[in-house]
Amino acid sequence: MKYRKFGKLDWKVSALGFGAMRLPVLGENPAAGNPDVNEPEAIRMIRHSIDQGVNYLDTAYPYHGGKSEVVVGNALRDGYREKIKLATKMPSWFIQQYDDFDKYLNEQLEKLQTDHIDFYLLHGLNKQHWPKLRDLQVGKWAENTIKDGRIGYLGFSFHDDLATFKQIIDEYDRWTFCQIQYNFMDIEYQAGTEGLKYAADKGLALVIMEPLRGGQLAKEPPEAVKKIWETSPPKRSPADWALQWLWNQPEVSVVLSGMSTRQQVIDNIASAERSAIESMNEKRSALVDEVRKNYRDLGPVPCSGCAYCLPCPNRVNIPHAFQYYNDAIMYNDPRTARFRYRQEPKEAWADNCIECLECEEKCPQQIPIAEWLKKAHDYLGPRKKV
């Protein structure tokens, strides 16, 4: 296993971290919300990864309907807890008062069968959650909790825009690390590459989630993309290309993979053992750029995500609607795109468009936005009852 710097800490983290969000389940629904975890198999996978040198294990309060932390706690018996650093996340959306900080942490400690969490994150910070937690003095609470030993370091996971990401970093000066969605397709999405470098320059360790875009970058690619991958030695799987692209960057501390099968564990550990900073030459980096361009060319809506169309007077999140629609087509994965679209507030859905066409006047790509919004919602929105 290869190990990397973890921000300013005098400790090195394994290049690969085990994400307990997509554990093996019983039945046919592999979603992170499925509580029917195949616990014996999940424990075998977690322990095998630790035996192979993985030293960072990430879970969260809501994963697998609350069952993930329980399974992780059982997996870390028999001396395994001492071999790793454990990360879990406070459910930010449930916090209403100061006492809730202790309430949820103590519940998590019990489920995880431990007296401390090494790396504790505020889960899914955004424009709504961060001001609430900040004003409830989560920083004061965290500093007291670090002193009493129940958590080691405070960080946050993030889902919002770049400006909000920078604001959260700047408004609290004791962050140790942060967790962002980042992969070779999402270089300008949410925190993106600029956010990655901004956080690293502030001394934060960067934990990467969704390195394969929920598996979209690991499956059999479209023919045009496949041909590009095949033009360059060494021969790699699409998943390995995506992982090596991340590990190539010195700002990246650890890449989390939500692994569902033993074969995924084996393959990802093998990839991590080949990883290194600045290991990709210009030719290979250009190859990834070409793959990104080809994926994007497959998207039907030529939206660059510039957001000049916003704000919409009817609160439609136009760039998000187009992103989900394009994702469904690019990756041949309508199920994931529909799930993500329907997680948006309903007032942001594309069917709220009244065709005022203000957005079309502002669009530098001259996209017929109203027409595409209708197509996007018809494809992504709830099926109409007949």
Closest CA to 164 of 131, 116, 141: 131
Evaluated on CA atoms 39, 41, 47, 49, the torsion sign reads: negative
CA atoms of 56 and 142, how far apart (whole Å) = 21
Closest CA to 372 of 356, 347, 351: 351
Tens of pLDDT, residue by residue, the chain (386 residues): 999 999 999 999 999 999 999 999 997 665 566 788 999 999 999 999 999 999 999 999 999 989 999 999 999 999 999 999 999 999 999 999 999 999 999 999 999 999 999 999 999 999 999 999 999 999 999 999 999 999 999 999 998 889 999 999 999 999 999 999 999 999 988 899 999 999 999 999 999 999 998 888 888 888 889 999 988 877 899 999 999 999 999 999 999 999 999 999 999 999 999 999 998 988 999 999 999 999 988 889 988 777 889 999 999 999 999 989 998 998 888 988 999 899 899 999 999 999 999 999 998 888 999 999 999 999 999 975 53
- Crossing angle for the helix pair 99-112 and 138-147, nearest 10 degrees? 40
pTM of the predicted structure, to 2 decimals: 0.87
Question: CB burial class (10 A; 0-12, 13-18, 19+) of residue 18?
Answer: buried
Q: How far apart are CA 319 and CA 333, in angstroms?
A: 19
DSSP strand E in the chain: where? Answer: 3-5, 12-14, 16-19, 56-58, 85-90, 117-125, 151-158, 177-181, 205-209, 252-258
DSSP character string of 321-353: HHHHHHHHHHTT-HHHHHHHHHHS-GGGSGGG-
Instruction: Look at residue 33 in the predicted model and tell me its pLDDT.
Output: 67
Structural domains of the chain in order of their starting residue, each with its CATH number: 3-287 (3.20.20.100), 318-380 (no CATH)
Distance between CA 117 and CA 138 in Å, rounded?
A: 16
Residue 30's pLDDT is 57
Tally the residues of the chain: 386
Give the per-residue pLDDT at 386: 39
E-assigned strands of 11-150?
Answer: 12-14, 16-19, 56-58, 85-90, 117-125
Place of tokens 């990864």: 49
DSSP 146-188: HHTTSEEEEEEEE-S-HHHHHHHHHT-TT--EEEEE--TT-TT
| Nearest 10 degrees: Cα torsion 47, 52, 54, 59 | -20
CA distance 111 to 315: 40
Helix (H, G, I), strand (E, B) or coil at 234: coil
Q: pLDDT at position 29, please?
A: 61
